Amino acid sequence: MAAMLDIRTSNGKLITIPWGLFINNQFVPSLKGSTVDVQNPWNDEKLGTISAATLEDVNAAVKAASAAFSSKWKGIPASARGTLLSKLATLIERDAEVLATIEAIDAGVLYGDSKNLNVPQAIDTLRYFAKLAGEPGGQLLDITGGYAHVLRQPYGVCAAIVPWNAPLMITMWKLAPALAVGNTIVIKTPELTPLYGQKLAQLIKEAGFPPGVVNIICGLGRVAGQALAEHMEVRKISFTGSGPTGRSILRAAANTNLKKVTLELGGKGASLVFADADLENALFWTSLGSTAHNGQVCALGSRIYVQSSIYDKFIQAFKTRASGQATSHGDPLNESTNKGPLVSSGQHKKILQYIDKGRDEGASVLFGGKALGNGNFVENTVFTNTREDMTIVREEIFGPVAVIAKFDSEEEVIHKANDSEYGLSAAVFTSDSSRAHRVSQALEVGTVTVNCWGMLNANTPFGGVKQSGFGRDLGKEALEEWTTVKTVKHFLLGSAKL
């Protein structure tokens, strides 16, 4: 019987989850007895303690994944892999309330957002890839004297390193395609929000995945994450997180076994609002797109460019709308709360420093700009009168801070939107479909949404260009990311000629 951690929530629920590392379908303590404290995002108070992986535990998890790949998983029919993914989706659906509660208490995500958006997205992802199991593509080609099969095969042991902002959903973006095509996996959950991983591990076991196919370990990035990135038996690593960590993982892969790396990094999304846009619609999406989950969203539309002729009207309406958006900050489990806490005091401090920097560099605060009450809350903040070289315009803040600036021509706003080292996402608001098409083509990003913001779909690829990373989660493209290519050439006897 695994040792359990009990957490009593503010609304009187009892969450009981194992606190060990999940290796070979067992919950085990760290071999060196290492632990990590899990903190309440409101005030950093301790919620509990769970095991944290060190190098020895990472080695054990990789060994389990390797044994599972060579013995059981490799030979299992694709349809059986799909069935297991579907079962996991059903179990997550059954336990959606518990998982949403965990995301609320651990990551500060509003309970309703987690239950209605993050958890369903995780389920959709599993169901989408369950159907694609056995469809990793491949081709049959004509060659002189015979034919060639181009096969797509799993890498073997893979790893995933996940950030704290929407951990369950992002874990599924990696786990589902990786398993659908026949890999085994070690998942390192974020040390700031690891509790979802403990619950998920229980569901993996209940779904009936063979031991070692999925291993879930929490641990510090520079310890467990680094050990995975350097591991000689891990053949592919998929990372979502910050640019500096992405670079460190790339270096670790280069210095060790040249494992395949995919990186989903940060963003500084632009929202382009043209004068011909439906104003109400643009206001709705740009205000949501710059404040959702307290701005702790990689695809945030934190640079809003508005055409000059509607700028004043837009600014007034945006201010009214945004001030009505965060009227009640507090407990993310409480249904009346519309603004939860940031993930940690570190994040709180970092965001306030960015706001100070914005003021120091001469931008004007349209609204917000202060800490909110006690705990890790910051007002939704918008700056105007910005210059393109200001820190708050160039750097990812990962908080509820946006800038609004004017533009005159289409050409000018495309230039401004592309004048960024980031290239994850952008949004275009216009009622002119030719313009929508033209501008979408010209934007240097991985995803453009037209007359809308966000919108993740399991069947559409998601990822970045430039320093937002490379590789894609979701969509059929993800299957390619988790497979390697083998060419097999068949020649009819005597027909191959030099």
Helix (H) or strand (E) holding 406: strand 401-407
Tell which one of 8, 149, 222, 251 touches ligand NAD (CB under 6 A).
Answer: 222
CB of 99 vs ligand NAD, minimal distance in Å: 18
- 168 closest CA partner among 116, 102, 221, 217: 102
483: CB partners within 8 A, 6+ apart = 136, 137, 152, 153, 154, 155, 181
Task: Note whether 33 and 57 are within 8 A (CB).
Answer: no
Residue 473 near residue 173 (C-beta atoms within 8 A): yes
What are the residues whose beta carbons fall under 8 Å from the beta carbon of 26, sequence distance 6 or more?
2, 20, 211
Identify the residue whose tokens are 């998983």.
73
Q: Contact between 440 and ligand NAD (CB under 6 A)? A: no
Between 152 and 293, name the residue whose CB sits nearer to ligand NAD: 293
Among 241, 295, 423, 475, binds ligand NAD (CB under 6 A): 241
Catalytic residue among 103, 191, 230, 264: 264
Q: Is 264 a catalytic residue?
A: yes
Element (H, E) at 258: none
Containing 104, the helix (H) or strand (E) segment is helix 96-107
- 281 to 310, contacts with ligand NAD by CB under 6 A? 298
Among 59, 242, 418, 484, binds ligand NAD (CB under 6 A): 242
Say whether residue 162 binds ligand NAD (CB under 6 A). Answer: yes
Q: Are 128 and 76 in contact (CB under 8 A)?
A: no
Could you say whether residue 187 binds ligand NAD (CB under 6 A)?
no
**Does 266 participate in binding ligand NAD (rule CB under 6 A)?**
yes
| CB nearer ligand NAD, residue 193 or residue 202 | 193
Using the structure block, give the residue that is written with the tokens 């929508």. Answer: 436
Nearer to ligand NAD, 204 or 249 (CB): 249
Q: Which of residues 384-403 bind ligand NAD (CB under 6 A)?
A: 396, 398
Q: How far is the CB of 252 from ligand NAD (least distance, A)?
A: 7
| Distance of alpha carbon 201 from alpha carbon 186, whole angstroms | 11
Using the contact rule CB under 6 A, the part of the chain among 109-117, 260-268, 381-389, 401-409 near ligand NAD is 260-268
- Residue 159 and residue 186 in contact, taking contact as beta carbons nearer than 8 Å: yes
Closest separation in Å from C-beta 400 to ligand NAD = 14
**Residues annotated as part of the active site:** 264, 298
**Which spans of this chain sit near ligand NAD (rule: CB under 6 A)?**
161-165, 170, 188, 190-191, 221-222, 225-226, 229, 240-242, 245, 248-249, 264-267, 298, 396, 398, 424, 464
